[in-house]
């Protein structure tokens, strides 16, 4: 979705902190309010604001009109969620509401959030602070909280990535699936996520879980997921904690050949894509082996996700790192 011109104008005032030209008894009440609520940014600070988003803009001319022109360009960019503004505008609003800047400027961050929402309401969007204090956007059931973003890592994100790295080392396959992967998929707006326990997996035809995703047209596409703990290599058999790609190959074939029963629509549905998810590395040899053994149509239906991709996603969203049962075991 694209934000309305009036909303972009309001955002420009918030990012700049108002015109900065008013004095008591002069200027609009709205300009005075924005200057009281949001940190003031000079021309060089505006350049730094957008460069922090990895945008090549350099301030020139009047602050507010220049910022409006930049936001108009960003409003034409793409969005990962059709019900939300472009991803780059979401990132800009996240930086606008940065807790550190409000503390440094001695401004009321909650009051500023309420003012931001007054503007976003005309577009049917609401801003909120997630469990980590980051500003996120939502429109109905759609939220920006699960979206990965490009750009430099913050110190908080680096610490969170390190915490998740340690958790993936210790968690069992079932713990990872139930406590991490399923919540992560829900944050990414997948629906009707169905999992299979260890005793039921033989009946699931290569699927550790399946789910569906609603397209903007209202249609659904279906996904199966194969979950493996540890490294996924191209060896002929499983070595230690590493999973064999030949096992995965058979499971991917079964997942694509056997449909799922969606109780919400009361019919069987074919699987459109299969995620192969590993808590360790999926080697290049393993990926090549799998796509070479599948026919041309099926190889395009396989999506890989290994540890590095998982850590990037987990570090930039709101899931709390659970405690692994292996960390809580009491020795006897």
pLDDT tens sequence across 301-330: 899 999 988 998 898 777 889 875 544 444
**pTM check: above 0.75:** no
User: Which sign does the torsion angle of CA 213, 219, 220, 221 carry?
Assistant: negative
Please answer whether residues 114 and 278 qualify as being in contact, where contact means their C-beta atoms are separated by less than 8 angstroms: no
Q: What are phi and psi of 226, to 5 degrees?
A: -105, 125
d(CA 93, CA 102): 13
- Summarize the confidence of residues 276-293 as an average pLDDT: 87
For the chain, how many residues are written? Answer: 332
Please state, in angstroms and as integers, the Cα–Cα distance from residue 105 to each residue in 38, 100, 110, 210, 261, following that order. 8, 9, 14, 48, 56
d(CA 47, CA 119): 24
Cα angle 244-187-1, degrees, rounded to a multiple of 5: 125
Q: What are phi and psi of 136, to 5 degrees?
A: -125, 165
d(CA 128, CA 139): 11
Q: Tell me: pLDDT of 156 over 70.
A: yes
Query: What pLDDT does 313 receive?
Result: 87
- Enter the tokens of residue 116: 């931001």
Please answer whether residues 268 and 260 qualify as being in contact, where contact means their C-beta atoms are separated by less than 8 angstroms: yes
Question: DSSP assignment, residue 180?
Answer: I
Beta strands 209-214 and 135-139 are unpaired
Kindly report the CATH class assigned to 155-324: alpha beta
Query: What pLDDT does 177 receive?
Result: 93
- Express each pLDDT in 231-253 by its tens digit: 888 764 445 444 578 888 888 99
Tokens 């309420």 belong to which residue?
Answer: 114
Query: What pLDDT does 176 receive?
Result: 94
Tokens 């596409």 belong to which residue?
Answer: 221
* Edge-first strand listing for the sheet containing 126-129: 126-129, 135-139, 142-143
- Enter the tokens of residue 89: 């505008």
If residue 322 lies in a helix (H) or strand (E), which one and from where to where?
none
- Indicate the domain borders of the chain: 5-143, 155-324
- Summarize the confidence of residues 188-201 as an average pLDDT: 74
Kindly indicate the confidence band of residue 19, based on its pLDDT and cuts at 50, 70 and 90.
Answer: low
Which stretches of 239-285 are assigned E, i.e. beta strand?
Answer: 243-244, 260-262, 267-269, 273-278
């Amino acid at each position: 979705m694209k934000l309305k011109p009036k909303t972009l104008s309001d955002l420009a005032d918030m990012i700049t902190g108002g015109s900065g030209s008013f004095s008591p008894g002069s200027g609009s009440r709205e300009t005075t309010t924005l200057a009281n609520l949001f940190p003031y940014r000079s021309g060089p600070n505006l350049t730094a604001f957008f460069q922090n988003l990895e945008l090549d803009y350099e301030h020139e001319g009047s602050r507010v009109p220049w910022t409006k022109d930049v936001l108009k360009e960003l409003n034409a960019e793409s969005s990962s969620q059709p019900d939300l503004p472009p991803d780059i505008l979401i990132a800009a609003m996240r930086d606008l509401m940065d807790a550190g800047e409000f503390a440094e400027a001695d401004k009321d961050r909650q009051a500023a959030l309420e003012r931001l929402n007054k503007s976003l309401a005309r577009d049917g969007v609401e801003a909120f602070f997630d469990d980590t204090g980051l500003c996120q956007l939502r429109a109905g059931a759609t939220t920006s909280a699960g979206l990965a973003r490009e750009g430099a890592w913050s110190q908080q994100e680096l610490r969170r990535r390190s915490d998740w790295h340690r958790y993936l080392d210790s968690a069992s396959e079932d713990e990872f699936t139930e406590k991490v992967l399923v919540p992560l998929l829900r944050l990414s707006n997948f629906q009707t996520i169905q999992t299979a326990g260890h005793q039921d997996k033989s009946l699931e035809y290569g699927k550790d879980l399946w789910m569906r995703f609603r397209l903007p047209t209202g249609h659904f596409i279906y996904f199966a997921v194969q979950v493996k703990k540890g490294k996924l290599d191209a060896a002929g058999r499983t070595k230690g904690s590493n999973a064999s790609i030949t096992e995965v190959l058979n499971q991917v074939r079964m997942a694509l050949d056997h449909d799922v029963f969606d109780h919400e629509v009361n019919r069987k549905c074919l699987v459109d894509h299969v995620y192969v998810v590993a808590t360790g590395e999926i080697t290049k040899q393993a990926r090549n082996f799998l796509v070479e053994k599948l026919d041309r149509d099926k190889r395009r239906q396989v999506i890989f996700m290994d540890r590095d991709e998982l850590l990037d996603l987990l570090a930039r969203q709101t899931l709390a790192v659970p405690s692994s049962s292996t960390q809580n075991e009491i020795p006897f």
